[in-house]
Amino acid sequence: MFASFILVSALLFISLYSLSLIFFSSRKNSTSASGGNKQQHPPGSSSWSFISETIEYIRASLDGVPEKFFFERFKKYSSQVFTTSLFGETVVVIGGTASGNKFLFSNEYKLINTWFPKSILEIFPFAKTNVGNPAGHKSLRKLYSQLLNPESVHKYIGVMDLMTAQHFETDWDKNMHTDEVIITVQPLVKKHSFAIACRLFLGIDYQQEASRIHELHKLFCVVMSGFLSLPINLPGTQLNRAIKSSKLIRQEIQKAVRKRKINVLSHGDSPMQDMLSRLIDLSEEEDRGIDEMYIVELMVGIIFGGITSMGVVLTLVMNYLADFPNVYKEVLKEQMEVASSKGTRELLNWDDIQKMKYSWNVVREVMRVATPSPVGFKRASEDFWYDGYFIPKGRKLVWSSAATHMSPDYFPDPEKFDPSRFEGDGPAPYTFIPFGGGPSLCPGQEYARLEILVFLHHVVRRYKWDKPMPTDVNKEEKIVFKPYPLLTKGLAIHIRPHL
């Protein structure tokens, strides 16, 4: 009964929402036409087709080829720019080409602003303060760079190393009752990545507060499932659950902030031991208007930015190493060389990370073929022209790393998995963009690199793995985008320790 009420409300909402979009967009078009202005909008589908376009995008994503949606429309309408309707919004797709990406990234703050879908703004009301507010975004970025600059995050390599070794001992080795077992990678690496984030961002230690971390992780998972849900905030909807969980997370982090503030200010807690201490220290250093809630929101943003992609990439790396034994062999060789240059209990350091060049090329190739964020959103903050077409102020804009990374113009034979593409000078500017670009470029990319390489250092030296043969019952796993790339069964692998 309740489910059918939700369904009817959802359908009613979608119909009203689409009608209002059509009404407003036709009003806008008629205004410019009646003014005699022959402004030519990018070709593409009308807002009438927002359901069919969204379905087509979702279908391509579930087939593991989100780029197909973009390529078909580039071919049909224009190779540089087209209009479509996605998730209830009329959007102009500009990305997909190096010149489009360059245009979008280098015009942020001038012609273009950050924009988030409605569901994300409801879950994180704080994000609204930065939408269309370059000054607010710039001061946030200054803090990000103080917390996540390479020099600061290199200090975390030792903790990452220790925690990763512990993770394999407690969560993987405990399953090794026989020589060979099947494990599901995705939930394990997500948990691991979250535990590292809790320790390094908030100072919550997994060994001492495992159940607190477990509860927090559950809340984060509910929030993530509400990211791109329908914008319906009614009891029982995904969005409603995500909003409630996001509030609980903020309360929990607020408690951690208060506790840490007392330690930092009264007992001289070392400011460099985790990001939260560093942030509290920075807020005391200068009068920047960083109050308690700002610290809470910033930490929530960093944790979400961090954990969403990390579990995804670690799982995908394991997947491609299972598919390409030769690549696995090369990674193992490189990691053995690093290990052999160290003392028995000596922790990894920055010099070791720099030696992991081939391993990093493998990770980059993984992020090319299965990009963690296949699309990104922006908004026109001014009227402008692009490739001869008029884009009105307020229009939502989409860039796509999936379309760029799979373009044969930049990556010959794009379906082929080939880490050697990243040797030498590597890809041309604006063609490899898993971390975005411009003023919103992911501030966590160095942190991500360290965590992934430390993980690889341990996993390849401990284990060999491959995929179970698909049977009628156990169909072959594949990569789907929901909206991030996921393995349909969470990556079930046969794993065995090295003899």
- Choose which of 436, 465, 479, 481 interacts with ligand HEM (CB under 6 A): 436
In the complex, minimum distance from the CB of residue 240 to ligand HEM, in angstroms, rounded to a whole number: 25
CA distance between the termini of the chain: 57
Kindly write out the interface string for residues 448-477 of this chain, putting x where it contacts ligand HEM by CB under 6 A and - elsewhere.
x-----------------------------
| Residue 302 CB, nearest approach to ligand HEM (Å) | 5
193 versus 237: smaller Cβ distance to ligand HEM:
193
Which residues define the annotated binding site? 442
**Using CB under 6 A, which of the segments 73-81, 284-292, 369-377, 388-396 binds ligand HEM?**
369-377
Residues linked to residue 380 through DSSP beta bridges, in sequence order? 112
Contact between 305 and ligand HEM per CB under 6 A: yes
Cβ-closest position to ligand HEM: 444
- Among residues 45 and 422, whose Cβ is nearest to ligand HEM? 422
Give, in order, the Cα–Cα distances in Å from 379 to each of 107, 259, 270, 437. Answer: 11, 39, 41, 15
Q: Where are the alpha helices (DSSP H) in 269-356?
A: 275-285, 292-323, 325-340, 350-354
Interacting residue with ligand HEM among 223, 442, 453, 493 (CB under 6 A): 442
Contact (Cβ atoms closer than 8 angstroms) between residue 365 and residue 358: no
Q: Is 353 in the site for ligand HEM (CB under 6 A)?
A: no
Rounded distance, CA 316 to CA 434, Å?
A: 14
Binding-site residues for heme sit at 442
In the complex, the smallest distance separating the C-beta of residue 211 from ligand HEM, rounded to whole angstroms, is 24
Q: What gap in Å lies between CA 148 and CA 448, rounded to an integer?
A: 10
122 to 151, contacts with ligand HEM by CB under 6 A? Answer: 141, 144, 148
Q: Choose the binding region for ligand HEM from 261-269, 309-317, 353-361, 474-482 (rule: CB under 6 A).
A: 309-317
Is 376 a binder of ligand HEM (CB under 6 A)? Answer: yes
Torsion angle, CA of 445/449/455/458, rounded to 10 degrees? -170
Of 158, 301, 414, 427, which one interacts with ligand HEM (CB under 6 A)? 301
Helix axes 445-462, 157-167, angle to 10 degrees: 40
How many residues at the interface with ligand HEM, by CB under 6 A?
Answer: 24
Nearer to ligand HEM, 447 or 455 (CB): 447
Of 66, 96, 419, 434, which lies in the binding site for ligand HEM, with binding defined by CB under 6 A?
Answer: 434
Helix (H, G, I), strand (E, B), or coil: what is residue 87?
Answer: coil
Tell me what percent of the chain is helix, strand and coil, each rounded to the nearest 5: 60, 10, 30
What CA–CA distance (Å, rounded) separates 112 from 395? 10
Per the structure block, which two tokens stand in for 444?
């966590």
Burial of 6 (C-beta count, 10 Å sphere; 0-12/13-18/19+) = middle
Q: Establish if 397 lies at the interface with ligand HEM (CB under 6 A).
A: no
Contact residues: ligand HEM, CB under 6 A:
141, 144, 148, 301-302, 305-306, 309-310, 313, 372-373, 376, 434-437, 440-444, 447-448
